[in-house]
Structure 1
């Protein structure tokens, strides 16, 4: 019956699995079953100074990469659910226990949102929030961050160029902060994105939030880009040494924001 349903979907809608190209569902049961479910620390090399502990489900490759690209670039919106579940696992690993959580999506350039026809990161974070609330975790998703004009597309930029491109590019508009800051609970702030590469976006988001008094407990993403050894060597030769492996110690404080 499942095979017939999938064949009918392919015939009527032209649907195929992002992972294996099997006709039917946008994510077949077999590919969904093998998605990573164990979040891990995802420190970039080199690590931006002061970066909050980053977590991801796996490398930005294979099926995980195909799903993220399908959701972001090809508007396969049905993928928001399974990807949001993965992001919720990263959030749970980043902030264990039952502390209230404030999920802050990394903002996208307005031109990119217009071209894609949707805000992929915001949609992904909303799905993660629903998944966490389904587990009775007190959580809110608040798009606190805004991006200033003049920021370039990060694709093709190396670590130094990404950092320079994003320096003081994000800010928290007062009206957004006012909507979020209802002092009814001590919450943990987590910056969320689809992929962490050099950590420049996450670090800039963290800086902007901390500038208005919101300490960031962690960074949560679906995937992490594994940088090539030659990229790391070039960056290290320019003066940045890859950071040593660090273990996450859950000692970040909360902040008074309503959940």
Structure 2
């Protein structure tokens, strides 16, 4: 369909399919690594990413998220599965808990991109023999302000109390391995808030898994 209608690669903008072989390899060839931000926000569980947020990876994530290019969910979700698998270590089972978006954000975009990626990751891991399931255990209870331009410290304050664990999931996840997932890690404040919201309901987080992480260094006063 892309060839007939004149589609372009989301990674390099070349005419053709949604993701050309070279850009697909840039995602599939990533190796998971520990992606601690600097400074580390309080309460953040061990974060794992599969790529640096930039270049092809950034373009593909934005095309899927902001421009509803659904076909990109598969390569992105498979990259997320690699981060989840590394987070599990020797374990074979876990619940994947996506960082939630507000209802208004989902309506504005016309879809929930992170949940779609998470579902792809679950299917990919289950085919590989892992007992991994999706848990929509978090909800937005206070919409934070726009994070653009905020320091790490300001982002943490802005997100404080933004999420809450859903009551129907609290008992179900108690004592279960839970991994919080997101598409991008910047300062880690969003993931830390998700970890906090689960922890206050007695749900410890095994780790956090993301597709990509920004290369961040501590700035004076941040």
TM-score bucket (shorter structure): over 0.9
The match for 2:38 is 45
The match for 1:168 is 161
CA distance in 2, matches of 1:200, 1:182: 23
Larger radius of gyration: 1
Deviation at 1:56, TM superposition (A): 0.3
TM-score w.r.t. structure 2 length?
A: 0.93
The CA deviation string for residues 96-130 of structure 1, in whole angstroms up to 9 with x for no partner, is 22431100000112222111101111111111111
The match for 1:90 is 83
What value does the CA root-mean-square deviation take over the aligned residues?
Answer: 1.7
CA distance in 1, matches of 2:73, 2:117: 5
**Secondary structure class of the residue paired with 1:122:** helix
CA distance in 2, matches of 1:157, 1:207: 20
For 1:155-234, list aligned pairs within 5 A.
155-177=148-170, 181=172, 187-227=176-216, 232-234=218-220
Unaligned 5+ residue runs, structure 1?
A: 1-7, 237-259
Q: How many residues align?
A: 221
Q: 8 Å contact 1:109–1:151 — kept in the other structure?
A: no
**Secondary structure class of the residue paired with 1:139:** strand
TM-score w.r.t. structure 1 length?
A: 0.80
Please state if 1:32 is matched with 2:24. Answer: yes
The match for 1:14 is 6
197 and 151 in structure 1: CA distance in 2 versus 1, 3 angstrom threshold = same
CA distance in 1, matches of 2:15, 2:170: 45
CA distance in 1, matches of 2:202, 2:104: 29
Q: 8 Å contact 1:59–1:225 — kept in the other structure?
A: yes
**Secondary structure class of the residue paired with 1:84:** helix
The match for 1:74 is 67
Moved more, 212-221 or 47-56: 47-56
